[in-house]
Amino acid sequence: MKQRIFISSAQKEFAEERQAIKAYLLGDALLSRFFEVFLFEDLPASDRRADAAYLDEVRRCDVYLALLGNEYGREDAEGLSSTQREFDEATRLGKTRIVFVKGTDDTGRHPKMRDLITAAGAQLIRRRFTTVAELTPSMYASLVDYLAVKELLRVGPFDAAVCPDAGMDDLSADRIRRFVGIARRARGFPLPEDTAPVHVLQHLNLLNKGRPTHAAILLFGYTPQRFLISSEIKCAHFHGTEVRKPIPSYQVYKGTTFDLVDQAVDFVLSKISLAVGTREHGTQAPVEYEMPPEVVREAIVNAVAHRDYTSNGSVQVMLFSDRLEVWNPGTLPPSLTLEKLRHPHGSVPGNPLLAEPLYLTKYIERMGTGTGDMIERCKNVGLAEPEFSLTDGFVTTIRRKPGRAFEVVGGIAQPESRPESQPESLEIRILRHLTASPLSKAELSARLGQKEISGQLNKVIRVLLGDQTIEYTLPDKPNSRLQKYRLTAKGNALLATIAQNGGQA
């Protein structure tokens, strides 16, 4: 809803200025989006007292803009002018008042106007002008300041702004504590794990006047999409090279920023070719994806971290038979170009408060090395360099080479395209990784392309242990740092059944 500006009522002295202000506001690309203007002379003829009409408009307005000059105006039975009445009513109601005084010399003014100017100056800052050309830029600055104070106009990063309607109860204390533990191990985060959540948020600058910012909700909210609907990730898998219906596999993921990255990475890794070699040359069987999981992860985390969260669009991850495309509603900052992305460059995060916790948990690097690392990793494994483009958003394209994984490790390759309508579950992927040899949680996390052991991985391992499809290698020491997991006869039978059914569980 637009903010309503009431410009002090019909004094002949300011007829030109009032019309000029209205025309300026309606013609300005920014202010016209936020304000509508009321002039007393715009009222149609009606059976109402003039003083009642203008005072009603003062009550309806959001901003009272007073123009004070030499004349005091026609006085009523109590000796007060309409301008005086308006100013007093706006003051009584606590309206935002912006006062402009014409001229620098007060000696020629009506005595009551001098008193009004003095009274106004005792309550708020007055601005003086002599011409309309001086008045309009001062008015512009005052109204932009009003929008910033009311948090209607963002003058800082979007992620630093207060998330409307969100409170501390909308943040998960458990997620904040888990973050601290991971950040301490990953980057030496200075706060202890038992630090009160509010102090963690303050340390990360995720509170604005004691209220959660957009970044706080995205990182630690129970339901971030309740406040930021488009912050979800849409993932789709197509068997061909074009977007065509029906879509074989389509998922919309919701959750925190960390959840979104992990789920989208899992989606892609569950669809691309995976080859498991033999233990001919060592105790650990080699495992190789057709494209490095680190590259997939970097493309997705960059899209989530640097996107434009004011857009109604969502991050889209689209896997085709020949390429992976990661699209986000955003653009490059002015200091960067597509060519500069391919060379060493400074870090210019679009959402700096969101990026910091992602850095602390090793989801991203701080020095602007992400795109360079992607290029280098692809070159090292014989893949084409990633492509970066700007269309109606920012697109990262990674070319596929499904046979590469098998060429590297030999052994049996996982089919590159399965016809299921859902991505292969994390449970089945864990079982597949355990076919070669027992693995620890950390090793499983790395095979799955995760930076850290996620809560989701812990949960799935507990389920598989409960189902007796996997078991401890050290059953008497479940919490041992040397603990690993291996397939049971039941787990092997389940995988055999899936193989017989053409990949269907």
| pLDDT one-digit tens code per residue, 67-95 | 999 999 888 899 999 899 999 999 999 99
Mean pLDDT of 348-373: 83
| Helical H segments across 102-228, by residue range | 111-123, 132-149, 173-187, 197-203, 214-220, 224-227
Domain boundaries, the chain: 3-149, 158-227, 231-344+361-423, 425-505
Mean pLDDT of 403-429: 59
Residue 385 pLDDT class (50, 70, 90 cuts): very high
Residue 269 scores a pLDDT above 50: yes
Residue 420 scores a pLDDT above 70: no
Residue 454 pLDDT class (50, 70, 90 cuts): confident
Decide the pairing of beta strands 315-319 and 211-212: unpaired
Indicate the SS3 state at residue 262.
helix
- The label of the residue with tokens 């050290």 reads 474
Helix or strand run (H / E) with residue 117: helix 111-123
Q: What is the pLDDT of residue 399?
A: 94
Q: Phi/psi at 219 (nearest 5 deg)?
A: -85, -40
In angstroms, rounded to a whole number, what is the distance separating the alpha carbons of residues 379 and 263?
26
Residue 237 scores a pLDDT above 90: yes
Q: Calculate the average pLDDT of the chain.
A: 85
Residue 412 scores a pLDDT above 50: no
**Architecture of the structural domain at 425-505:** Orthogonal Bundle (1.10)
Decide the pairing of beta strands 3-7 and 394-399: unpaired
Helix or strand run (H / E) with residue 3: strand 3-7
Across 22-31, 336-345, 382-391, 458-467, least confident range: 336-345
Mean pLDDT of 474-495: 86
Residues in the chain: 505
CA 452: distance to chain centroid? Answer: 22
Residue 112 scores a pLDDT above 50: yes
In angstroms, rounded to a whole number, what is the distance separating the alpha carbons of residues 59 and 271?
61
Share of the chain above pLDDT 90, in %: 38
**Architecture of the structural domain at 231-344+361-423:** 2-Layer Sandwich (3.30)
Q: Which of 439, 375, 447 is nearest to 405 (CA)?
A: 447
Helix or strand run (H / E) with residue 144: helix 132-149
Q: Count CB-CB contacts under 10 A for residue 394.
A: 23
Mean pLDDT of 222-249: 91
Structure tokens at 194: 């038992």
In angstroms, rounded to a whole number, what is the distance separating the alpha carbons of residues 121 and 99?
9
Across 49-63, 209-223, 283-297, 411-425, least confident range: 411-425
Mean pLDDT of 163-188: 93
Residue 47 pLDDT class (50, 70, 90 cuts): low
Q: Which residues are bridge partners to 395 per DSSP? A: 327, 389
CATH of domain 3-149: 3.40.50.450
Q: What is the pLDDT of residue 45?
A: 55
Q: Which residues are bridge partners to 471 per DSSP? A: 486
Instruction: Judge contact between 373 and 293, C-beta under 8 A.
Output: no
Mean pLDDT of 463-477: 88
Across 125-139, 157-171, 217-231, 340-354, least confident range: 340-354
Residue 173 pLDDT class (50, 70, 90 cuts): very high
Mean pLDDT of 454-482: 86
Q: Which of 477, 482, 498 is nearest to 435 (CA)?
A: 498
Residue of 124 and 365 predicted with greater confidence: 124
Residue 120 scores a pLDDT above 70: yes
| pLDDT one-digit tens code per residue, 124-172 | 878 888 888 888 888 888 898 888 878 777 667 888 889 988 999 999 9
In angstroms, rounded to a whole number, what is the distance separating the alpha carbons of residues 443 and 450?
10
Share of the chain above pLDDT 70, in %: 88
Residue 4 pLDDT class (50, 70, 90 cuts): very high
Residue 423 scores a pLDDT above 70: no
Residue 416 pLDDT class (50, 70, 90 cuts): very low
Residue 299 scores a pLDDT above 90: yes
Are 3-149 and 231-344+361-423 the same fold in CATH? no
Q: Which of 287, 320, 500, 299 is nearest to 416 (CA)?
A: 320
**Burial state string for 122-132 with b = 16 or more CB within 10 A and e = fewer than 16:** eeeebeebeee
